[in-house]
Structure 1
Amino acid sequence: MAVAFRPPKRDVLQALRSLVYPGVGGSGSTCCRCPLGAKRYLLTNSIVKLKEFQHKKVAIACNLPGTKDALEVLIEMKNQDVKFSKDTYVLAFAICYKLNSPESFKVCTTLREEALIKGDILSRRASCFAVALALNQNHVEKATSIFSQIMNPESILCINLSLMIHIQSNMSKTLIEILKDATEGNVSKFVKKLKFSEEVLAKVREKVKDVPALLATFDELYGKLHINGQVTAYTLDALLCHTPKGLKSHMVHLNKRTVSRRTFQPLSQSLWAE
C-alpha cells in the first residue's frame, strides 16, 4: 500500500530541473535531460569527488554563486536513483532555502514528503531549513507544521525560528511570554540559557511597537537578556548556515580514510556504502 501513495520521482526531478534550467523538460533519456554543454556528474567515475562534495553540503549551498551548481549535482543523483542520506537532505533543503522562490519551496516540500513516505530520517537541521524557507515564502502554517515535528527543539536555531513563527502569526503577547520565561526561568548558572538573535529581537520589537504596554515590557526584557548574555549578533541566516564543529572533524576523518568500513573495499569502488 505504501507504494501507491509514493509521489512519482519524475515530478521531483522535473521540479528540480526547472530551477536550474527553466524550460527544459523531463522526458527522454538521461543524456537528453541535460541541456547542451551541461557538465555531467557520472557517479561511476566520480564517486569519491561527489561524496566529498556532499560532505561540504551547507558550506556550498550557503554560497549563492555555487548554489545552482550544487543543485545540478542533486539532479544527477536523483537521475541515477542514488539514495539520499541525512546529509544530502540537508544539502537539498539548504539549496532550496537559498534559492528562496516558489519553485524551490515546492521542491523542498515534495522532497520532504517523499522522504517521510519512504521512512528516511530527516535531521533537525534539514527541518530547520525547511521551516525557514516556508517562513520566507509566507507559508506560516506549513512552517508551524514542520516545526512541530522537530524533536528536541531547544537549540539556539530552533528558539529563534520559533520566535519568527510567532512574529508572522501575529502572536505578540506570546512573544513577550517567551522572552519573559527566558529571562526568569534559568536561574542556575549550570543551566544553559536560551540565546536570541539581535536581528530576530529587532523584529519582535517591530511587532509590538504599536502596543505601549507590550513595548515597555519588551524593552525591559531586552535589557535583561543583554545583561544575562542571552543575545547573539548572529543573524538567523548565519545560524542556519553555521557548520557544526563535529561535522568538520568528521570531514577530516573522511579525507584520511581510503577503505570503506563496511565493505573493506577502496572508497573509489564503493557507491556510498556507508
Structure 2
Amino acid sequence: MDMLFIKGKYESALEVLIEMKNQDVRFNHDSYVLAFAICYKLNSPESLKICTTLREDALIKGDILSRRACCFAVALALNQNEAAKAASIFSQIMNPESITCTNLNVMIHLQSNMLEPLMEILQGAAKGNVSQFVKRYEFSEEVLAKVREKVKDVPSLTARFDELYKKLHVHGQVTSYTLDALLCHTPRDRRSHTPLLHRRKVSQRTLQPLSQFLLAE
C-alpha cells in the first residue's frame, strides 16, 4: 500500500486499504497516517466516508490517532466542503501547534465564514514584540491568498488584512509552501531515518510487506 501511494496509484492503494479492513488487519500509528493520506489524495465523497469510518473505528478501539493523521482527515473534509466536520476533527487534535494545523485552522474559519475570529488569529500571530524564543506561527501564501479573496468585498476587513499580511511578511511568517505540500511533507523517523510515508508495513502473520501479502491473498 505504501509503494502504491508513493507512485501516486491512489485508487489501487485504496483497494488494498479496503482489503486490509476486510481482513481485520490491525492498523498501527503509521497505517492510519497512510490510510488517511490515501483518502485525502483521492478527495471524493467516498474517500471521506471511508476516512470517517476508519476514524470512528479507531476511536471505538481506543487507538490513538496522530496529529498528522488527523490533519489529513481535516484537509479532506475541507476539500469536500464539510467545514463543520473538519472543525470537529480539528478540535480533537491534542497538540495543534504546527504549521500545518495553523493553516488548517485558518481554512476552517474561512469556510465557516468566521472572518472576525480569523482576523484575530492573524493579528495575534503578527505581534512584533514576541520573544525570539517563542515559536512564531507561519502561514502559507496560498492560504493567505484565499483569505484575501474572501474579504475583498468587505473594505474594513480588506484594509485590516493587508496590514496584517505586511506584518507577517516582515516577520518572516509567510511560507511559499502550499497546504498540500505541508500535509505531504515526510519527516524522517528519528531512529530509522526512513521517511514516514515510505516505511514498509509488515504483516504480523507472515512478516511480509502488508501490500504484498494482501494482494497475494
Deviation at 1:210, TM superposition (A): 1.1
Separation in 2, partners of 1:270, 1:70: 20
Q: Is the 8 A contact 2:128 2:171 kept in 1?
A: no
- CA deviation profile, 1:29-49 (whole Å, cap 9, x unmatched): xxxxxxxxxxxxxxxxxxxxx
CA pair 221-93 structure 1, distance change in 2 beyond 3 A = same
After the TM superposition, which residues 67-106 of structure 1 pair with which residues of structure 2 at under 5 Å, given as runs?
Answer: 67-106=10-49
Aligned to 2:5: 61
Letter matched to residue 140 of structure 1: A
2:58 to 109, 115, 120: 115
CA pair 186-83 structure 1, distance change in 2 beyond 3 A = farther
Aligned to 2:166: 223
Separation in 2, partners of 1:246, 1:138: 33
Moved more, 181-190 or 206-215: 181-190
2:102 to 159, 171, 195: 159
Q: Is the 8 A contact 2:40 2:73 kept in 1?
A: yes
Separation in 2, partners of 1:251, 1:108: 25
Aligned to 2:72: 129
Deviation at 1:73, TM superposition (A): 2.3
Letter matched to residue 159 of structure 1: T
Deviation at 1:269, TM superposition (A): 5.2
Q: Is the 8 A contact 2:70 2:89 kept in 1?
A: yes
- CA deviation profile, 1:97-156 (whole Å, cap 9, x unmatched): 111111111111111101100111111111011111111111111111000000110100
Structure 2 residue ranges without an equivalent (≥5): 210-217
Deviation at 1:248, TM superposition (A): 8.8
SS in 2 for 1:194: coil
Separation in 1, partners of 2:6, 2:28: 19
Aligned to 1:42: none
CA pair 63-135 structure 1, distance change in 2 beyond 3 A = farther
Deviation at 1:77, TM superposition (A): 2.1
After the TM superposition, which residues 99-248 of structure 1 pair with which residues of structure 2 at under 5 Å, given as runs?
Answer: 99-184=42-127, 187-246=130-189
Separation in 1, partners of 2:45, 2:190: 30
SS in 2 for 1:246: coil
CA pair 270-245 structure 1, distance change in 2 beyond 3 A = closer
Aligned to 1:33: none
Bigger RCO of structures 1 and 2 (CA < 8 A, at least 6 apart): 2
Q: Is the 8 A contact 2:188 2:194 kept in 1?
A: no
Structure 1 residue ranges without an equivalent (≥5): 1-52, 261-266
Deviation at 1:83, TM superposition (A): 0.6
SS in 2 for 1:120: coil
Q: Given the two structures, how large is their TM-score scaled by the length of structure 1?
A: 0.68
SS in 2 for 1:138: coil
After the TM superposition, which residues 28-67 of structure 1 pair with which residues of structure 2 at under 5 Å, given as runs?
Answer: 54=2, 61=5, 64=8, 66-67=9-10
Q: Name the % identity.
A: 69
Look at both structures and tell me which one has the larger radius of gyration over its CA atoms.
1
Q: How many residues align?
A: 203
Separation in 2, partners of 1:186, 1:122: 35
Q: Is the 8 A contact 1:140 1:168 kept in 2?
A: yes
Separation in 2, partners of 1:164, 1:235: 12
- CA deviation profile, 1:69-90 (whole Å, cap 9, x unmatched): 2223223322332111111111
Separation in 2, partners of 1:234, 1:69: 28
Separation in 1, partners of 2:125, 2:112: 20
